[in-house]
Amino acid sequence: MDIKDLTIQKALEGYRKRQFSAVEVVSACLENVRRYNREYNVLLTVRDEKDIIEEAEHVDSLLPLGGIPIVLKDLFLTDSVRTTAGSKVLEHYTPVYDATVVRKLKAAGAIIIGKANQDAWAHGSSGENSDFGPTANAYSKNLVAGGSSSGSAVAVALGMCIAATGTDTGGSIRVPAAWNKLVGFKPTYGRVSRYGIIAMASSLDSIGHITKDVADSAYVLSITAGKDPLDATTADKALGEWRPAKTLADVCIGIAKELPCGDEARSFEALGARLVPVELPHILSALETYYVIVPSEVSSNLARYDGLRFGDGRSAFGAEAKRRIMIGTYALSSGYYDAYYKTASKVRTLICRDFAKAFEHVDVILAPVTPTPPPNIGEKVNDPLALYRADIYTVPVNLAGLPALSLPSGIQFIGPQWSEEKLFSIGNAYELHAHYRH
């Protein structure tokens, strides 16, 4: 049993057939934590090994995730386990309750190995804005891991766990997943509860995960999805059942010149899909729209960190957090609200409309995840705007609240709201065709 080859499905099958035990699997994960954590700076907090082994010994293997080791991004409040959001502000914070998603994963029998490093407050797309140092890319220590769910991606890639949770407000699951050759999933906004997950931009935050293949991704969603009375933005919509598809014969894939895919589009024609050009003119303004709306919502969400009820106080905020708080405060302030925030909210409407129109003609839209491969650590850190540009292909999706699935080859599928099962079917067909090694 090589942990690096194990998917959730293979692990559950191995448990069922008694080929190996949960204790062996989590022990292999812990061995990889010992081997790689310091060098790659992946996990900020590792749970007590004795507790992990004991859970693995007693877990009910009939549970949907019974004995599956996972890692949680450090935005996910975990009862009695330090949760930092990647920030010195919360360096000494221990939650007294679980996020809804954490509760669901625990109830499903998942075993939490630890909490993943990330850009502080999810502000970033490289991992370099962590107050605890950047996480290195699993494939090359000089390269950034991508962010903000940097530790989550690298933990899966280095065999510290089989799946990891993340959040995606502007690409923060899809970017690190793509840059570490994994599957990244961002659900429709409102599909998965945000309760107990430290908020970045409340109208864009989406709660997803990083896995080794598409089947695992769909499986994890079946556990985390659902209306939650504790999150009023969750919808009462059943998750469609996805079906593995060998061909894409009746699938229409949209290609937009604003989202240049190069040759990737041809693989889909080979699978039988029809490629249809679509127009998304307003996504050329998506990055500006994002960097007004998000800092505005951030300035509100981070106001609670006053160091009184929890946290170490506002002077512990890092530079990027301070920049975003100030941009947001300014954009919302009297005299500037109309020119900045209200204008951006109107452009957001136009972006939503562009997508809605495109989806009248196509099932999904194909797009690259990032404009470039991962840069070297430290290369862009002094130019905030340069780092922002890594998100040009991911942020439009969050502004419109759409689901998206990113694949190890660096492409993503974007679907209309509530179309997750379509994304999984198409992703699965592509995956079989591309023969990924895990």
Partner 1 sequence: MDVNQVAKLANLPLDKHKQELFASQLTAILAFVSKLQKVSTKNVQPTAQVTGLNNVYREDVVDQLRILTQAQALSNAKKTHNGYFVVPSVWT
| Long-range contacts at 38-41 (CB < 8 A, ≥ 24 apart) | 39/136, 39/141, 40/135, 40/136, 40/138, 40/141, 40/145, 40/154, 40/158, 41/117, 41/130, 41/132, 41/133, 41/134, 41/135, 41/136, 41/151
Q: Cβ closer to partner 1: 123 or 181?
A: 123
- Judged by CB under 8 A, does residue 386 bind partner 1? no
Site string for partner 1, 415-434 (x = CB under 8 A): --x-----------------
Instruction: By CB under 8 A, name the one of 36, 121, 189, 219 that touches partner 1.
Output: 189
Specify the length of the chain in residues. 438
* DSSP code string of 354-381: HHHHHTTT-SEEEEES-SSPPPBTTSST
Backbone angles phi, psi at 86, to 5 degrees: 75, 15
- Please identify, among the stretches 125-133, 153-161, 324-332, 428-436, the one whose residues bind partner 1 according to the rule CB under 8 A: 324-332
- Judged by CB under 8 A, does residue 349 bind partner 1? yes
- Judged by CB under 8 A, does residue 235 bind partner 1? yes
Q: Is 55 helix (H, G, I), strand (E, B) or coil?
A: helix
Site string for partner 1, 270-309 (x = CB under 8 A): ------------x--x--xx-xx------x---x--xxxx
- Judged by CB under 8 A, does residue 335 bind partner 1? no
Q: Contact at 8 Å (CB) between 297 and 341?
A: no
Sign of CA dihedral 194, 235, 149, 306: negative
- Of 10, 73, 106, 212, which residue is the catalytic one? 73
- Please identify, among the stretches 31-39, 51-59, 349-357, 358-366, the one whose residues bind partner 1 according to the rule CB under 8 A: 349-357
Q: Is 37 helix (H, G, I), strand (E, B) or coil?
A: helix
Q: Annotated catalytic, 409?
A: no
297 token code pair: 């919502």
- Judged by CB under 8 A, does residue 124 bind partner 1? no
- Of 130, 149, 152, 172, which residue is the catalytic one? 172
- Please identify, among the stretches 112-120, 213-221, 246-254, 322-330, the one whose residues bind partner 1 according to the rule CB under 8 A: 322-330
Q: Contact at 8 Å (CB) between 139 and 181?
A: yes
Site string for partner 1, 20-59 (x = CB under 8 A): ----------------------------------------
Distance CA 186, CA 172 (A): 9
User: For residue 23, how far is the Cα from the chain centroid?
Assistant: 28
* Residue among 282, 416, 249 at smallest CA distance from 350: 282
Q: Cβ closer to partner 1: 232 or 262?
A: 232
Instruction: By CB under 8 A, name the one of 323, 379, 421, 432 that touches partner 1.
Output: 323
Q: Annotated catalytic, 172?
A: yes
Instruction: By CB under 8 A, name the one of 1, 230, 238, 434 that touches partner 1.
Output: 230
Buried residues in 258-282 as b, exposed as e (16+ CB within 10 A): bbebeebeebbeebebebeebebeb
Q: Contact at 8 Å (CB) between 323 and 317?
A: no
Closest distance to partner 1 from the beta carbon of 186 (Å): 13
- Of 87, 125, 130, 148, which residue is the catalytic one? 148
Sign of CA dihedral 288, 383, 177, 328: negative
- Judged by CB under 8 A, does residue 348 bind partner 1? yes
Instruction: By CB under 8 A, name the one of 30, 362, 364, 400 that touches partner 1.
Output: 400
Binding residues for partner 1, rule CB under 8 A, total: 60
Q: Annotated catalytic, 206?
A: no
Distance CA 292, CA 422 (A): 32
Please give the residue ranges that form the binding site for partner 1 (CB under 8 A): 92-94, 96-97, 189-190, 203, 229-230, 232-233, 235, 282, 285, 288-289, 291-292, 299, 303, 306-312, 314-315, 317, 319, 322-323, 325-327, 329-331, 333, 339-340, 342-350, 352, 384-385, 388, 399-401, 417
So which residues are the catalytic ones? 73, 148, 172
